[in-house]
Amino acid sequence: MRQRQPRVLPVSMEEGKRLGIDQFDVIIVSGDAYVDHPSFSTAILGRVLWEEGFSVGIIAQPDWRSRDDLLSLGAPRLFFAVAPGNCDSMVNNYTPARKRRSEDVYAPGGKPRRPDRAALVYSDRLHALFPEIPIVLGGIEASLRRFAHYDYWSDRVRQSVLADSPADILVFGMGEQQVVEIARRLDGRTGWEEGTPIPGTVEKIALSGFEPERYPGLLEIPPYSAVAADKEAYARAFALHYREQDPVHGRPVAQRHPKCMIVQNPPAPPLSTRALDAIYELPFSREAHPDYDLPVPALEPVRFSLTSHRGCFGGCSFCAITHHQGRIIQSRSIGSLVREARRLFSVRGFSGVITDIGGPTANMYGMVCDRWGSAGACREKQCSPGCPHLNLSHAPVSALLSRLREVPGIRKVFVSSGIRHDLVVADGFSILPQLCGFHVSGHLKVAPEHVSQRVTNIMGKPDISLFLDFKREFEKLQEGRKKRQYLLPYFMSGHPGCTLADMAALAEFMRDHNLRTEQVQDFTPTPMTVSACMYHTGLDPFSLQPVHVPRGREKAIQRALLQYWDPRNRTLVREGLLSAGRRDLIGKGKKCLVGGENKKEKQTKGKSP
């Protein structure tokens, strides 16, 4: 029976009882604190299930070393949903240099409470306590570790997280449709065609019970034993499953593991505008659960933000969005976003400023390819502004921003997350005056990432000349402005394909354009990205051609070159420039990036062993 949505989802039996619940249908176990905001997966999935008539309890950040937290809500009637959080637990717990972080922004007061490999730890503990209850794995961590994958933190290829865990099924992608369908089936209700595989899920099947005919068009990729032992096999397997991540033409993909077969069904179909509107218009309180004494740091930057769309067709090699949200843009309606903006006035502390609106790439709102509906996103081709099928008009985002500005009481609507500058250039800069006129709060983020064309090609980023075109127009718009705005370009060090000579060229570019990056983006090979595959194998997975991979000291030098002006980096910068044959950039000259060794440095060096 459908119950009214509660103000916050229950996190204790007492709260459940107050809502008339003796046993929850579904219990979500999360590595994040429970924040009732649509940017947090636990809140979205919990509220969507509730809307479908399932009662949901939440166990947030349980102490996994004792039984009490995991026993606190009893056994669910249908299943446990293990969602380790908005971020992979290893990315969350460690820096790119593999040092343990002292803060967890998804925890009250930033105090870490999340185990490493949370998906495995939570599901193991739950299975030990409730062996009869099904476990559904989901969230970014499970989604991006669904096949055998290279794990940077243990520096080895691990099995699919589903093969390693006692969970029964894995949900990948955004998950709403899949968890509802799993709940319906376990509840004996009818949903998608009964007994058929559920799109957007990965199944674990005993080797003796595997029936390939159940999966029409099944593609079998090299098994775990091969990809763990052979880097070329890993790269081939990666390219094969990468091409099947499309809801229209994607085929089921199987990978044999020592004790089971892992089968990824095609991704869930894109959500319609109406369905997406309905999800984001659920009554999120935009507050952390009132039980928390301390604020959850990750909430503040997004509390008054709006999500306008999902998906990204940018194809950056180091980003896993393609494997998680897909390339097809799913946009909300302007009416729904206006209603959500109006509702912000009921949230404590809202002053009429929408701090951000967008999706993975803010200016892709409303963009569409005329083939997505019938043929899906191209298997062999990345989307680019030059594709004749892509409508990259900024008219939809322009209309959305204009309409939001007209909402009574709304004082500002900022676009704080990154935009694709190449799309703005390709569309004749039409959106730029509006952006600079109303929606930039001081800094506009763009991500050229590198200046070397060879490196940007490997990264899947546009040529640096497009950034310069964009910058020129941006600067023109600053003329006569009372309050100057700044471009905040992001550059990355240590990416596969990038040499010390490339980094020296990037440092020169930053010098020539007076750009200084305070926050260094040091490449981290996160699971299931093209770049992580290159990092592990030293191969481009699509051409199988070798790619240079900076590691160890070279990676540290590349990182230092991004901040060549910082005195703490002098030694590494000099070493890097000498190795790159760029002695001309060391010394007192106007163009030099770093001075020569001073007396003290020479003495220290003389004493070192």
Contacts with ligand SF4, residue ranges (CB under 6 A): 313, 369, 371, 377-378, 381, 383, 387, 389-390
CB of 385 to ligand SF4, least distance (A): 9
Report the Cα–Cα distance between both ends of the chain, in Å, rounded: 75
Map tokens 């933190």 to a residue: 153
Strand partners, 60: 30
Instruction: Count CB-CB contacts under 10 A for residue 218.
Output: 13
CB of 424 to ligand SF4, least distance (A): 17
Instruction: Count CB-CB contacts under 10 A for residue 20.
Output: 8
Q: Return the closest-CA partner of residue 163 out of 256, 86, 245.
A: 256
Return d(Cα 325, Cα 143) in angstroms, integer: 10
Return d(Cα 328, Cα 247) in angstroms, integer: 9
Using the minimum distance from each CB to ligand SF4, give the nearer residue, 141 or 422: 422
Using the minimum distance from each CB to ligand SF4, give the nearer residue, 375 or 592: 375
Using the minimum distance from each CB to ligand SF4, give the nearer residue, 344 or 364: 364
Using the minimum distance from each CB to ligand SF4, give the nearer residue, 344 or 378: 378
CB of 323 to ligand SF4, least distance (A): 16
Using the minimum distance from each CB to ligand SF4, give the nearer residue, 377 or 549: 377
CB of 550 to ligand SF4, least distance (A): 30
Angle at 537 between CA 533 and CA 540, to 5 degrees: 65
Q: Return the closest-CA partner of residue 147 out of 313, 323, 327, 270.
A: 323
CB of 316 to ligand SF4, least distance (A): 15
Return d(Cα 392, Cα 426) in angstroms, integer: 8
Strand partners, 81: 28, 136
Return d(Cα 569, Cα 46) in angstroms, integer: 47
DSSP 417-460: S-B-HHHHHHTTTTTHHHIIIII-SSEEEEEEE-S-HHHHHHHT
Angle at 253 between CA 247 and CA 257, to 5 degrees: 145
CB of 427 to ligand SF4, least distance (A): 14
CB of 329 to ligand SF4, least distance (A): 10
CB of 541 to ligand SF4, least distance (A): 19
Using the minimum distance from each CB to ligand SF4, give the nearer residue, 309 or 570: 309
Using the minimum distance from each CB to ligand SF4, give the nearer residue, 376 or 489: 376
Using the minimum distance from each CB to ligand SF4, give the nearer residue, 223 or 311: 311
